[in-house]
Every structure is written in structure tokens, then in C-alpha cells.
Chains A and B, each alone.
With several copies, the nearest count.
Chain A
Amino acid sequence: MTMIEALRDAMDVALERDPSVVVFGEDVGYFGGVFRCTAGLQEKYGEERVFDTPISESAIVGAAIGMAAHGMRPCVEVQFADYMYPAYDQITQEAARLRHRSNGQFTCPLVIRMPTGGGIYGGQTHSQSPEALFTHVAGLKTVVPSNPQDAKGLLIAAIEDPDPVIFLEPKRLYNGPFHGDHTGKSVSWASDARGDVREGYYKTPLGKARVTREGAAVTVLAYGTMVYVAEAAVQNSGIDAEVIDLRTLLPLDLETIVTSVEKTGRCVIVHEATKTSGFGAELIAEVQEACFYHLEAPIERVCGWDAPYPHAQEWDYFPGPDRIERALRKVLEV
């Protein structure tokens, strides 16, 4: 199953099980989404459950908040994470706070799905990774699946979660894992074990990371597309690295991270988002606090450069395996 199919399957399961689940967004209804994640769902569940909206991300999220407060469970799509900004006020000032400011009278069980990250020549407005803009906001949970199995389980868990969840879908992984070499042959999920998605209902708990490769020399923290790019770098380098797929950025599975870094004494963090004030900074802050006496070298970040995501220079911007490998070697030098 591709990640697109896995996500669709998750929504299908949720729509089937719970009549209060509704799915909407731009081009999400009749057409089934520009990435086809909701294809067939309107036909199956009718227009009252799955529908098209005007091009107003703030109105989509704002209306969804009203529905969620009433008792429904909206799962809405923002067509690209780059277009969530008009909804940022509703997401951060409203959805994130309803429960707290009303002392629990009103709650906001809402999922906002959005394709994130680069690697598809989308330029600066189809490539952004805004996760740090969500992790800074109390009241939100932030999830980034890296494979179809997780995508389905995490999305079902997100829809059932009593609080607002930002669900960032790495679009470069929609159709297959991507190891960072765009000149290589594209791989499909069919040929990857993690594309083997269980039928029916299951949940993958929010807040649990996964060690995707065990190793003793250095810990690599990654999420989304970068999990594969990191794995490729590890493979290329022959370094005995431990790779952790964070899966949920908030709440963060600090335990798994700390256990690993205490073992390896070294840490490299990888993300596509711009470096300064990216989520990598928060990871460093937590890791240096918890593992200070185990650290043998400064923690390294491999991130998107602090510039708008360029179109033609995409592969110079994208944190590829070579850059990660260099960082691995650097932290191992000492």
C-alpha cells in the first residue's frame, strides 16, 4: 500500500466507525484531493461526510473548530503545509486553547492534515516544513509519519485523540521511500516491508518514537523523509549509527532518545526545515540537558539552509545523504 492509500484507508476506517468524523478541504470531495488521499471517500460516505471547501484555510480550520467544539471529529486537509499560514491564527490561538481557556467546557478534537517537505521541485511554496511553528504552541500535538504502516495507525490515533493534532505528511514519501538520491530509480512502497499495511482498525500511539536501525556509534534523530535519507547516509558511510524515527514531535518520546544517546554518546539531528529555530534546536536543548555527561561531541544539525526553498537548486538545499554523512564523521572525529 502506498502512503496515500494508507492515509485514505485510515480515513475510511474512521468514517466507517464514527459518524461524527467528517473530512473536508480544498478539492478533497468530488476529486479526492490533489494527492488523491481522499479519493473515493465522498462517493462512499456522501457529501455530508466528505466535501469540497472554498480556498480559505482559515475558514476551513475555523469552521472545523466550531464543529469539533460541538462534538464532531473533523479531519481536514490543508492542500500544502505552505498554505497553512492563513489558518495559523485559528490553529494556534483557537484550536490549541479551547480546552484550557474554557476550563474543559469546550474541546477541540480536530486533525489537520497537510503534505509537507520538499523533493518534488515545488519551490518555496510547495516544499516547506513548518513543524517547529506547531511544536512551539502549547495545546497542539504534532505528528510526522514516515511510512504507510505508521501513517495509517497514527492518523486513526490522531482522529480519535481528544485534542487538536497537526498531521504532517511528507509528500516525497507518498509513493515510496526516498533515500535522498533523486537521480536513482524511484522505489515503490510495494517493495518495502513498511508498505505492508494491516487491514481494518488499528492505532499507532502518538508520542512513541521507533528505532529503525540499532547502532552503537552515534544516534541520528530524524522524522519523515529524513529517516530514509539518514538510513542511506548510514549505509553509505558504514558507520554503526542508531537511527530513530521520532514519529511524533510533540509529545516527544524523550525516553527513547535519551536511552540511545546515553549509549552512543553522540548525536546528529536531521530535518528539512530551515535550521535556525527549527525543531532540531529543541531536540538539542533536551538532549544536552538529559545526556550532558554522556556526550562526547557537540550535537550536529543537518537542516535546510536558512533561505527560502529554491526551485532549481532543490538538491543543493535538500539535506542529502552526503551532508548527513559528513556530520556523522564530524561527530565521530572527536
Chain B
Amino acid sequence: MTDRKVKLTYPHPPARPGEDPDFSGITIPEAGLLDVPPLDLDARGSRPYANGLIRVLDDDGNAVGPWAEYLGEDTETLMRRGLRDMLRMRAIDRRMMTAQRQGKTSFYMQCTGEEAVGCAFQRQMEPGDMNFPTYRQQTLLVAADYPLEMMFGQFYSNDLDPLNGRQLPVLHSARDFGFFTISGNLGTQYVQAVGWAMANALSGDRKIATAWIGDGATASNDFHGALLMASVYQPPVILNVVNNQWAISTYTGVATGKARTYAARMRGYGIPSLRVDGNDFLAVAAVARWARRRMREGFGPVGVEWFTYRVAAHSSSDDPSAYRPKDDGAAWPLGDPIERLKTHMIAKGLWSEERHAQAQAQILDEVTQVQKRVEAHGTLVNPPPTNPADIFKDVYAEMPDHLRRQRQEMGY
């Protein structure tokens, strides 16, 4: 009786453990093909950008096409800073993963391979702009020159932790650095960012909000709510999707379904959307600059899909060898963001392999020094960290009676 015609489909990644990495299904348009649209681009007009891929750096490390021209005067400083930020980020990831493995904290999440996205983006934002990041945008903090002492303090939950040990090591909050308090619940902050941007517009403070979400979390309800609210009220918000192809063990196909791209999905809401090579530092910087300018002119929200690859494990609790080929990341056809920027800078005569090795070592050393200093204040497990009675602080602005009684019961 069963009708074999009607069957469900189940999206699969191109390769599984034991197989070779396979990215043949991914179409990569040439760099430099797409032009820079006017700032008042509408959804309809954004079609080629939503279905295509904005790229600046070509396979040989040359910066090509109209977006290369869009970077402003001082691209040299931009690139030097960017390279430093990305190297610093990678050094932090490395140090933290090691410390986590040594049992000095509970948990960590790396952003290896995705450094260009946040590092290039953040430098195009303005003071007072507010990012609503996920746990994989530590890059936004690094590029905002967030003191490493605070980052490591939270990592170890010691007395340097700006959040008093309340949050997981990766769930930062740094209002003064334009970084909203991260939630462990996926998606929730996407729509909060839209609300913040509405407040930007209503208060006339000339600032903007930026929303961040992973490809997997685009499935969340708040992704939908955010796009809808942004489409209706047109606040100054940049709606970022970081498509790194994986949601823990789940392939991005389970989040896209038959949609062409995440940018296309956003475009369906009437929000002009672009898709960008997220491993191309210059492409990210150029598009972020364009988006920030668009906000300034009051042309409303924009969606950006940053196309990248999660090279590392999902988190310190995850082992990707159980669900994808070994060294998958190394085969990613859009390369490594640090390598690509380095190659370009060398080609431009601004950098060399030697200086790169030197810088890398120096940055790792700096980071390690900070880490050691901070670790001397104690780690999560040794010695015991923050004050237990602190649990009751900040539940409310003023502590109500029942919490006061509970604090007493605790012995404080």
C-alpha cells in the first residue's frame, strides 16, 4: 500500500568520517564580479548579491573589483590591524583551549577559520554601536580592544571576571565595548538587536545595532521575529548570519532546506541582503563599511550572510571526527582568512613571511603573558572563585525580602 513516490528527504553533508572532504557542490564565483550597489538598495535589487558571493581577494591574493575600491583611504592600517587582531584571536583560542584541556575552566569555544568576520566587521563600526553577538564572535571584542585581562578573567571565573563568575567562559558582556550580554539560548538576541535599533532611531542617537546568528540558529523563532520586525519598522540594524556550514554535528543543509542561501531567505522578508566570502578580510571590511554607511543614511536594515567554515570543533565538549571527515577545514575552498590576508599583504609589499612568523610569536607571547598574570588570580577550580553570596545580587535592582532570607540561610 505504501506509495514510494511520496518520501521524505533528509539533507546530508557531502562527506562523512572516513571519506575525503568534498566541497565540489559549492559554487564559488570569481572575485570582483559583483559591483557596489547604491546605499538605498532594496530587496528586489539585492537579488544578485543575495544569490551570489561578494569577494575581493582572488585566489592569488590580489584585491580585485569594485568592492576593493570601497575600503577607504588607509587600507594599510586597516590590514595591519586586522592581521594583528586575527592573530591575537587565534592565539587566545589556542591558549584557552589548552587551559580548558588542563581543567582550568569548564568550557571553551573557538572561532578558528572565522576570524575575519568579526575582526573586519568591528573596525567599521562606530563608538556606541551595539553588537548582539553569539558565542563565536569573540572577534568583535578583540577588534574592539577589549582588555584581555577581562576576557581571561571570565575564562577563569576569578576576581578579574567582569561578570563575577556568573556566566560561562564564552558568554561575555561588555557594554562599553559595544558587546551585548550573550545568552546561551540561541536566537533570542537577534530580535533584541532589532529592538535596540528601534531605540536608536527613536532616540535619534545616530548609533546602530548589529545582530548575529549562526546558520543553524536561523531556524529559531527569533530569527523570524527579528526579520519581520526589521522589515516592518526599518530600524538601523545589520542582520548578520554567520554560515559556517555546521551546527554542532548537524550539516547546514538541515537549516537551509531547499532555500538557496540564507541571504535569499532574508530577502524574502523584503530586506535587501548580501552574501559575502567571510574568509576574505577585505570583502568583509568593505561590505561592513557599506552597511554602516547605509544605516547612517537611514535606508533601513540590511541582511548579510557571511559564508565561512567552522574549522574547529563546535566546543570543547565536541569531537567533530564523529560526524565529518578529518581535516575538513583545511580543504575549505575559500581558504584560511589569516593566510589569505597575509598573502595579499606580502604581494603588496607590506608584509613578509618572516615578519609574519615574528608577529605570530610575539602576539602569542603577549597573550600568554596576560594569561599567566590572570591565572595567578585563580582558576575556576583552584582556588575557589567569587563570593557565593553574589548569587543574590542583581537578580533585582533592590534585593527583595525572600532573597535576603535566602542569603541569610546561606550564611551571609
Give the dominant DSSP class at A's interface.
loop
Are the CB atoms of A63 and B181 closer together than 8 Å?
no
Residue among A26, A56, A123 with most chain B CB within 10 A = A56
Are the CB atoms of B219 and A59 closer together than 8 Å?
yes
**Given A30-B323, A94-B192, A123-B171, A83 and B185 contact (CB-CB distance below 8 Å):** yes
Q: How far is the CB of B255 from chain A (nearest CB, A)?
A: 5
What interface size band does chain A fall in?
Answer: 35 or more
**Given A48-B202, A66-B199, A71-B199, A305 and B219 contact (CB-CB distance below 8 Å):** no
B250 interfacial by beta-carbon distance below 8 Å: yes
Are the CB atoms of B249 and A103 closer together than 8 Å?
no
A-B contact count (CB 8 A): 261
Are the CB atoms of B171 and A317 closer together than 8 Å?
no
B167 interfacial by beta-carbon distance below 8 Å: yes
Are the CB atoms of B192 and A54 closer together than 8 Å?
no
A27 interfacial by beta-carbon distance below 8 Å: yes
- Which B residues have a C-beta under 8 Å from some C-beta of A? 8, 10, 16, 106-107, 130, 132, 157, 161-169, 171, 173-175, 180-181, 183-200, 202-203, 209, 216-217, 219-222, 224-226, 228-229, 232, 247-250, 254-255, 257, 317-318, 322-323, 380, 385-386, 388, 390-397, 400-403, 406, 410
A198 interfacial by beta-carbon distance below 8 Å: no
Q: Which of A53, A82, A308 contacts B166 (CB 8 A)?
A: A308
Q: Which of B191, B396, B400, B406 contacts A66 (CB 8 A)?
A: B191
Chain B neighbourhood of A34, CB < 8 A: 248-249, 317-318
Are the CB atoms of B225 and A58 closer together than 8 Å?
yes
Mask, A293-318, CB within 8 Å of B = 1, is 00000000000011110111100110
Are the CB atoms of A70 and B191 closer together than 8 Å?
no
Chain A neighbourhood of B317, CB < 8 A: 34
Are the CB atoms of A98 and B181 closer together than 8 Å?
yes
Are the CB atoms of A67 and B248 closer together than 8 Å?
no
Mask, A20-46, CB within 8 Å of B = 1, is 101000110111001000000000000
Closest 10 CB pairs of A and B: A66-B195, A125-B184, A312-B165, A59-B225, A63-B195, A62-B191, A31-B249, A316-B388, A54-B219, A312-B157
Alpha-carbon distance between A308 and B183 when the two chains are bound, in angstroms: 12
Are the CB atoms of B402 and A306 closer together than 8 Å?
yes
Chain B residue at smallest Cβ distance from A69 = B196
A47 interfacial by beta-carbon distance below 8 Å: yes
19 A-B pairs whose Cβ atoms sit less than 8 Å apart in the complex: A26-B247, A27-B250, A31-B248, A31-B322, A54-B257, A58-B225, A64-B195, A66-B194, A72-B202, A101-B167, A102-B175, A103-B163, A104-B394, A106-B181, A121-B107, A121-B380, A305-B391, A310-B165, A313-B165
Residue among B107, B184, B228, B229 with most chain A CB within 10 A = B184
Are the CB atoms of A138 and B10 closer together than 8 Å?
no
- Which A residues have a C-beta under 8 Å from some C-beta of B? 20, 22, 26-27, 29-31, 34, 47-48, 51-56, 58-59, 62-72, 82-83, 85-86, 89-90, 93-94, 98-107, 120-126, 138-139, 141, 162-163, 207, 250-252, 254, 275-276, 305-308, 310-313, 316-317
Alpha-carbon distance between A150 and B398 when the two chains are bound, in angstroms: 22
**Given A101-B171, A308-B395, A59 and B402 contact (CB-CB distance below 8 Å):** no
Q: Which of B171, B195, B249, B406 contacts A305 (CB 8 A)?
A: B406
Alpha-carbon distance between A250 and B184 when the two chains are bound, in angstroms: 26
Are the CB atoms of A307 and B410 closer together than 8 Å?
no
Q: How far is the CB of B5 from chain A (nearest CB, A)?
A: 15
Chain B residue at smallest Cβ distance from A163 = B396
